[in-house]
Every structure is written in structure tokens, then in C-alpha cells.
Structure 1
Amino acid sequence: MQSDIVYRTEDIPPEEILDFLVETEADRELIDALKGRSPVILKGSRGVGKSFLMRAAEAEISQDFSSRKILPVYVTFAQASLIRQDTPDRFLMWMMAKLCNSILRTASTFGLTLPTGSAITAIQGSAALGNYSGMEKVEEIFETSWKREKQQALPVPVPDPEVLRDAVEDLCRHTGTKRVIVFVDEAAHVFIPEQQRQFFSLMRDLRSPYLTVKAAVYPGATSYGHAFQPTHDATVLSVDRAVTDSGYAGAMRSIVYKQDGALKKQIEPNGEVFDSLAYAATGNPRILLKTLLLRTPFNRRNIQDTIREYYREEIWGEHSNLAVRFPGHQKLIDWGRGFIEDSVLPALYSRNQRKESQTSSYFWIHRDAPQAVREALRLLCYSGIVQEGDAGMRATRGEIGTRYMVNLGCLFSQDAEPIKYGQNVRQHLYLKRMVEYGANHTAYRPIDKFSLVGVSSSANQALEAQLDRSIEYLDVTRFQRESLEGLGLLTIGAVLRSDEEVFKRVRYVGDKRARKMRNAAVTAVLEYLSG
């Protein structure tokens, strides 16, 4: 199936983002929250649409700037994986420099005149250095630090959060702007708790009547620290799309048609087949778009093969590969995979085969289960294999624990006829029907004594271990991979070190396409490096 579908928000120009918006009631509530006054933590696994929703909120605020006077600032922290941490405070200084520069650049884009004053001067950096302002040079030094063995001195001091708050207040008062909303994408999502704690402390410290931070994070990879209380310092919202909603299948179809209306001719005659693929994705648009394009033509047999291949092999390969990037997590990752594949999925499949009116994709974990078990499940949530549901759920005998949902595609793939089986499961899915695992279940034994102390690799070790790895590990299209190979960019480090002139060596590739190709490749590299 040939198509121009893109499954990363980064590949969609910001000015076109609203053209791709398929608005459900839940999505509208999330976008409105992102546009509101309160700090928000937007939580969801890879590919569910966190970046897209933030970009949609940014676009709507931009359209209304002349009337509402709210300045939207979008900044990605994807480069966090490239920052060498020679001293503990370098990551914090990089975040501050990046935020200062992003706010100033956005203000300039909207035609706002900067006021004079010490706070504004401090967030600019006191002097211009070549083609950079002082603070832009600081940001550039940090983001290229992975290339150097020794720490480079900073040309200007980095301001503290109080100075940035003062500068934003001065900007708002001088220009008549009501407030600045900063959307931080890819925020503190790497498996390095110290970086995460620094980010959330900064998020709390920046809050003011003139400045609000909205952050997108992954489940299973977030350490808030003691200074930040999610329920008090922000509103935590989940992007998980409920497969039990009546409009679920229609919304997923609309997402595909918005990208490529020509696919409608192939999908409409095979509606039940498409719906099975959509439910298998369990609310994840990126997974739906990837699996939709795996085989051609679009028909029942090919989609059945796709479900079996992707949800038995590829999705698990992506999860297990986390252990290559983060060796300290290997035992947690391996146990989690074995627990779902060898215990949960067979139990659910067996239960669903019974001639009863209710089916299930849910399991329940006792609140007193070993902490290592809960950490392994959070990593499965991060990969999108499991969704964490309600905590404090009562199960058999009144015990209390947390309900989880297994990705429906993983469940459908257990059967030789995944479409037929999947149709029965989704039509009779019952929320309260669960497989239960008590506080001392035998499945926990391989991991119940596992120590969580020191499981995180340092940022420098994780980065240095990956730069020489093959581009085969990158989540890119076949065309992008073949282009990289044709250019001789065979390792992750080689892609990072290349510039647009290298990409222009490809026939018929000019400035614009070279920039787009390099951006797509570097985005995939950063996503890989950060997990």
C-alpha cells in the first residue's frame, strides 16, 4: 500500500497541524486543558498523540493571539539524551538556556518588542557571540557536548528560574500579553531519575501568573522527586483512548483518511478488517498507521498476517531493545515480557475461549506486590504493551490493587484467526472481568528480591554505548533507511554528525528536502537514544 502517510507529529509542518486533527470529545477536553491557566502533565505511551495534541493547542492559541493575547511557546527536550553531565547542574542549565531562547524566539516571531531591563538582558545573555546571542551559544555548547571529551566553558552565566519569571512578567506587561504558555515536549522521559527530578522542580519553580508550563511525559519513565507533587503542582491527564467508546473505530478511520483520503477506497469494502486493526492498536494512532502500511494489498489475509507478525514479534522486540539502551533495566524488562507472554496472555486467552458472554483484556495486581513488579509494569506501559488503569480497585475477597489492560493486538495475535477472535473480544469486552495476581503470586518469584538501587545508567554511559550502533535500530521508513545507507550513514553517530549538505548528495534532493530528510533521521535518532 503506497501512501504519503506520516506517523510522527515532527514530520507535519506546524501550520498544517489542525488539518490533521480528528477531534473526539476526549481530545477536545485535553486541548482545552493545554490551553488553560493550570500546569498540565500530559501522560501517554509512545505514539498515542501527546506531541500532536500539544501542537494542536499551540496552533489554536496562535490563531487567537490578536484577541486573547496568550503567547504559545513550543519547545522539545528530545536533545536531553545528548547532554554530557560532567557536573550535576549542567542539565538544569541546559534546560534554562533552551527555555530562555525559545521564549525569546517565539516573542520575536509574533512581532513583540522586547522591553529593556536586567531580567531580559539576563535571559538573552549579556552579549552577542558571532551569529548567536549569548544564551543561544550556551544552548549550542550543551547540545554539541557529546562530541567533546572535555567540558567547554560557558560564555555567559545562565539565569535562575526567578530571573526567567521576572523576564516573562516584564515581557507581558510591556507588550500587553496576558501570559506565556510553554509546551515542553519530550519532557524528562529518559530513564535518568536525576534529570527528571530537576525538570519537575524547575516546572514548579517557574509557575507564576504570567508563565505556565505544560509537559508531555511517558508512563513508566517518570520520577517526580520530593519537591514536585503531581496532584498539587499540576493536573495529570492521560492520552489513552478508550476502546470501549462507541465512536472509537470511526475516530481511528478518520485519522487515516485525514492523512490519505485515497485509502478510503481500499478500507471501506473491508470495514471489519480495518476495525480489527484499529482495535489491535489500542488507541495508538502511530501503531495503527505503521501496521496499516506493513502489507499490500489491504485484505483480510494480509491484515491477519500483520497482526500476528507485529504483535507477536515487532512490538516485543521494541520493548526488549530497551534493555540494550538501558542495561540496568534489563532484568525488569525481561521479566515483564515473560510475565505478560507466559502468564497474563495465556490466562486471558483461556478465559475468553469459554462460552460466556463476557471477554477480558484486563489483569489486576495487588497493591502489596513487590515494587520491582510495579516498575516492570510501568516499563510495559511506556512501551504501549500495557495500559495502567484505576488504582484502588477491589478484586476477589475485597483485596485492593491496580487494574491494567493488555494491548488488544497482543491478545488478538494469540489466535490462529486474530480478526474473528478479536471481533468477539471487542464486542463483549467487560471492564470488571480480570485475571488477578495477589501480593505473593508465584509469577513474581524471579524478581521479588530484585534491588531497584542503581538500575539507571548515567546519561554519558547510555549515549556513548549507542553512537556506534547500526541504523537498523532506528524506527524509520524503508525509503529513509535506504537513503541513509546510500549516503554511507550506517551508524547512529554518523547520522548525528551529518549536515544537510550530506543529504543533498541524493539525486533530486535540494535544500528543502535535504532539511526534511535530515530532520526525520535525527528525530528517529533522538527518540531511539532517549528510549
Structure 2
Amino acid sequence: MSVSEELEEQGILILAAEDCSPELFKKLHRFSQHEERIILSLIAHGPVLLRGGRGSGKSALLKEAHDRIKEKSSTALSVYLSLRNLPLLRSQGKEYERKFCELLIQYVNLALKENKRRITFSAIPAVSDIQQALLKLSRKLNRRIVLFFDDAAHLGRETSLTEFFDIFRILSSSSISCKATIYPGVTKFGIRFDVYNDSTVINIARDENSKFFASFFLEVMEARYPTLLNEKKTSRTFDKTKLATFLGKAVIGNMRAFIFVCNQLYELQKIGLPELTHCLINMASNYYWPLLEELKPKLGIYESLIEPSYTLAEKIFQSTSKAKSTSIIIHRDLMQKLAKPLEILEYAGFISRRQASIGMKSGGRGSRFTLNLCNLLEITPGKRLTSDLFSAWLQDQHEPAEIHINSRILDDIQLPELPLDKELSVLELPIESLIKSKAYPYGLTQTKVDVLKKSHIKTIRELAETSDEQLRSLSGVGEKSLNRIRNVLGQAIWM
């Protein structure tokens, strides 16, 4: 196997930046000019919140900024902290603050060790003490400290968000730059955190109308799937730029979904309109709809909103299909009523908000969303991607559809009353749920599951509460297996 073939094979297997080795991360990831500006904002002074849905590339941007600072360690000390921590997720108030501070102390010391600094960072695990200790460390190093908080918010567990944003605000200063990733729809910032004055919010959704859109996805394909761009493989209907652009639009710019699409096409000898049709329909039935089911046990108090989200998705796609469009404007009153189901659909990649407020032909204002083309093709008459439809979708030839407050289209969607608190159901699922599957493409083998069960680890909760040391002591669990277990566990609970 050649180096390029080996790289292509690894690129197919890797779906998330968190699962990449540093070497492979550099080889596989590409950033558009727009994203380069985002990376510069993450490196620069000032607090930043990076907002994007599942698989949109938030972690990749955070990791790239972190790596670039490390390469130029003379200017700043970079600390990358993943908040995928079950005890942290399940706590709130003072308990959250203490556990957060303990994690931060641990990762600051790790960063100092990586920078070959013979300094031990210590502080009482309380925000005020941590703040003073970080300022003291900054003066001692004569360097700014940049704190990257990945996975700061969980879609189904919002109780700790107020505490997180309080900590984020308190730690931020001219010497300490805080950066964090959040998902669309995060609104519980607390009473002391002013999202627009205490941070800069950057939305990383890849807009199909951006001048960088086509070149970005072409570069990604060249890095991960060079054989897909072979002219002998594609039909005369489209060149490699059109193919990359169309696939990027089909998944509304979502990187993880883009990888899934390319993985399907990679197996084919030839790519034409029939093959693309089958690929998009398969994504709708085997990726997007199952994703809602996968999200359900992770939603906590919002678990019962999955059924209304299904119904809402169907009605949005039906309305858009009838208008022969790829985007839709939803009246702001409906946006307010259906805020959480819309947030779930955006998080899962069914829709992506392009304009927060736009005038409607039918009167009033609303938000405009673009739709993924996979679910749109699924309900298009004939369910077939023709040459005309390919061109129309590629060029956005039709005006957005509209759902007005008086249209009554969404009237029958009733939202259930939500409980005040609810544990994440995913924690009680058996560890067999983590076996390699469509939901978990890099899941565990049956052999590993058997090893865990012999050690009385039977549920996802029990696995999450087992320390790395305990896992390493098990038969056949080395560093590689440990990383795989932690990665699939992270996907199960957080993604």
C-alpha cells in the first residue's frame, strides 16, 4: 500500500478531530480562508465562543489554534481542556466549580510539562483562587495564557451552563484568553454573563454562498479522497469542483456528514447521477433519521421532544419540496414556540440557519434555514436526482419557501410538558450499545465488550466511571484500546 493509499484509508476511518493523532490531524485537515480568520481570532486576545452543530468542525478549529500556539510557545501558553467529563456533566453549583477547577489545574500542569517547564501549577479549586494563580503564572512565564474549553455545553444537560459562563467571564482578562465551543441554541448564559459584551460569538456554519465554499470541500477531498477526483470515476455531468461543491451543499457544510457521503462514494467504480441519488437517499434513511434516534437518550429533560422534532422535520421538508426550493423562512413566532425542536434539528444537521431575521413575502419576519439535500431528495417526486435538479440545487435557482404564523402548517405540533430534571438515559444503556455499528463506526469489538463485562462493567455509566488505570489493568487493553474506548464513550454521551 502506498503512502497516499494508506492516508486515504485512515482518512475514511477518522470522523472526528478528537480521534486524530497529531500527525494525521495535520495531513487530513484543511481550512478555508474564512476559517483561517477564525483560527486567528482563537489565537488572539479576547474571549471567544465558537458556535456550531454536531460535526461542524468546532473541535478541529480549536485544536488547530492550540497547535499553532504550541509551535510558537514564546508568545503564549496554550491549555486545551476537553470538558467531556461525566462527574462534571452531572454536577452544578459549587460542586461544578470545584470539579471544573480541579480539571483545569490538571491540564495547566500538563501544558507546562509539554512545554518543558519545571513549574508546578497549584491552587485551591475555587474560581477566585484559580484566577489569581493563573495571573501569577502568566507574569512568571511572561506569557499570555490561552484556555481552550472544548465541549463546554451539552444539548441535554443545561443546568451547569450558568456556572461555566460565570467561570469563563471571571477568568477572562488581558493576560488570560478564554475560548470555548458551544452548539446553536445555547441561551442559558446566566444573569452575570452578557454574551455580546463578555465574548465574541463566531458562527462556524459553512455558508454555501461563501466564495470559499467550493474550494474548501475540494481541498478536503484532495486530502482525504484523492481517488474520488479521478476523472475516469466521475461522469460528464460534473467535474471535480462541481462534485465537491454539490456534496458540501448536500450536507449543508457539515464535515462529519461530508465524510460519511464520501465514504459511500469511495467504494464505487463510477460516480454518476444514479449513484449520487442512491448515496443521498441512503444518507437520509441511514444517517440523518437514525441520528435523531441516537440523540434521544442523550437529551435529558428534552428526550420527549424527539417525536415533535421528527414531525417538524417532515413538515419543513415537505413545504420546501413543494416550493422547489432548498431553504425556508419560518416566522419568528413559530421560531419562539418551536425553539428546542428547531435547535435539535439544527444540531443534527437537518437544517442550518443562514439568516436570523429576514422579511417574509407573506408579512412579518422570520429566520431562514437551508436544508440538507439528502432528506429533501427523499420526498422529491420520483426520488431521483436528474441533471436539471442537480443544476438547480447547485445554483439555488428558487426563492425560499415560507411558513407563516397564519399558514397553520405547524399547528398540530404539540410540545409535551418537560420534567424539571432527568438523568441522561444513555448512561443506563448496556455497553453492547457501543459495539461497532452505523451509529458508532469506530465502536468496540465484541471481544472488548466481553472483557469489560467480565470485570462487571455492564452499562455506559459504569464504563464512564471506570478510571484509565482500572481499564489498563484489564486483559488486552493497552493505550490504543483505551483511546478507542474513551472516544466511543465520548461519542455516546456527548456527540
- TM (norm. structure 1) is 0.79
Contact residue 335 and residue 446 of structure 1 kept, 8 A: no
**2 CA distance for matches of 1:243 and 1:465?**
40
Residues 435 and 262 of structure 1, relative CA distance in 2, 3 Å threshold: closer
Residue from 297, 301, 306 that aligns with 2:268:
297
TM-superposition CA deviations, 1:60-102 (whole Å, max 9, x none): 1111222xx21111010112467544x7432221111111221
Query: Once the 2 structures are TM-superposed, how far is the Cα of residue 273 of structure 1 from its aligned partner?
Result: 5.0
Give the counterpart letter for 1:348 in structure 2. T
Match of 1:155 in 2: none
Match of 2:384 in 1: 417
Give the counterpart letter for 2:434 in structure 1. I
Residue from 247, 266, 270 that aligns with 1:277:
247
**Structure 2: runs of 5 or more not aligned:** none
**1 CA distance for matches of 2:106 and 2:483?**
20
Match of 1:35 in 2: 43
Query: Once the 2 structures are TM-superposed, how far is the Cα of residue 373 of structure 1 from its aligned partner?
Result: 0.8
Residues 227 and 420 of structure 1, relative CA distance in 2, 3 Å threshold: farther
Contact residue 31 and residue 54 of structure 1 kept, 8 A: yes
Match of 1:522 in 2: 486
Contact residue 33 and residue 212 of structure 2 kept, 8 A: no
Give the counterpart letter for 2:345 in structure 1. L
Match of 1:97 in 2: 102
Query: Once the 2 structures are TM-superposed, how far is the Cα of residue 251 of structure 1 from its aligned partner?
Result: 1.7
- DSSP 3-state at the match of 2:196: helix
Contact residue 294 and residue 439 of structure 2 kept, 8 A: no
1:446 maps onto 2:392 in alignment: no
Residue from 132, 142, 160 that aligns with 1:195:
160
- RMSD (CA atoms): 3.0
TM-superposition CA deviations, 1:294-348 (whole Å, max 9, x none): 362253344422210111342111113322333632443222221221x221222
- DSSP 3-state at the match of 1:22: coil
Match of 2:460 in 1: 492
Give the counterpart letter for 1:442 in structure 2. R
1:96-495 alignment runs, 5 A limit: 96-114=101-119, 120-121=121-122, 123=123, 158-177=124-143, 179-221=144-186, 223-265=188-230, 269-270=234-235, 271=240, 275-294=245-264, 296-298=267-269, 299-300=271-272, 301-326=274-299, 328-341=301-314, 343-352=315-324, 360-369=325-334, 371-415=336-380, 416-418=383-385, 420=387, 423-429=390-396, 433-447=399-413, 450-451=416-417, 454=419, 457-458=422-423, 462=425, 464-466=427-429, 470-472=433-435, 475-477=439-441, 480-481=444-445, 484=448, 492=460
Contact residue 188 and residue 222 of structure 1 kept, 8 A: no
Residues 237 and 370 of structure 1, relative CA distance in 2, 3 Å threshold: closer
Contact residue 427 and residue 461 of structure 2 kept, 8 A: no
Contact residue 297 and residue 425 of structure 2 kept, 8 A: no
Contact residue 476 and residue 521 of structure 1 kept, 8 A: no
Give the counterpart letter for 2:216 in structure 1. A
- DSSP 3-state at the match of 1:74: strand
Residue from 19, 24, 36 that aligns with 1:11:
19
Query: Once the 2 structures are TM-superposed, how far is the Cα of residue 195 of structure 1 from its aligned partner?
Result: 1.0
1:77 maps onto 2:91 in alignment: no
**1 CA distance for matches of 2:31 and 2:46?**
22
Contact residue 46 and residue 172 of structure 2 kept, 8 A: no
Residues 475 and 267 of structure 1, relative CA distance in 2, 3 Å threshold: farther
Q: Which moved more, 1:19-28 or 1:408-417?
A: 408-417
Residues 304 and 483 of structure 1, relative CA distance in 2, 3 Å threshold: farther
Query: Once the 2 structures are TM-superposed, how far is the Cα of residue 409 of structure 1 from its aligned partner?
Result: 2.5
Contact residue 466 and residue 529 of structure 1 kept, 8 A: no
Residues 411 and 486 of structure 1, relative CA distance in 2, 3 Å threshold: same
- TM (norm. structure 2) is 0.84
TM-superposition CA deviations, 1:167-197 (whole Å, max 9, x none): 11211211221x1011111112242221111
**1 CA distance for matches of 2:431 and 2:25?**
35
Contact residue 88 and residue 99 of structure 2 kept, 8 A: no
**1 CA distance for matches of 2:96 and 2:119?**
27
**2 CA distance for matches of 1:504 and 1:267?**
44
Give the counterpart letter for 1:244 in structure 2. N
Contact residue 335 and residue 447 of structure 1 kept, 8 A: yes
Match of 1:127 in 2: none
**Structure 1: runs of 5 or more not aligned:** 124-157, 353-359, 506-513
- DSSP 3-state at the match of 2:99: helix
Query: Once the 2 structures are TM-superposed, how far is the Cα of residue 257 of structure 1 from its aligned partner?
Result: 2.6
**Identity across matched positions, percent:** 19
Give the counterpart letter for 1:52 in structure 2. A
Residues 219 and 282 of structure 1, relative CA distance in 2, 3 Å threshold: same
Residues 297 and 213 of structure 1, relative CA distance in 2, 3 Å threshold: same
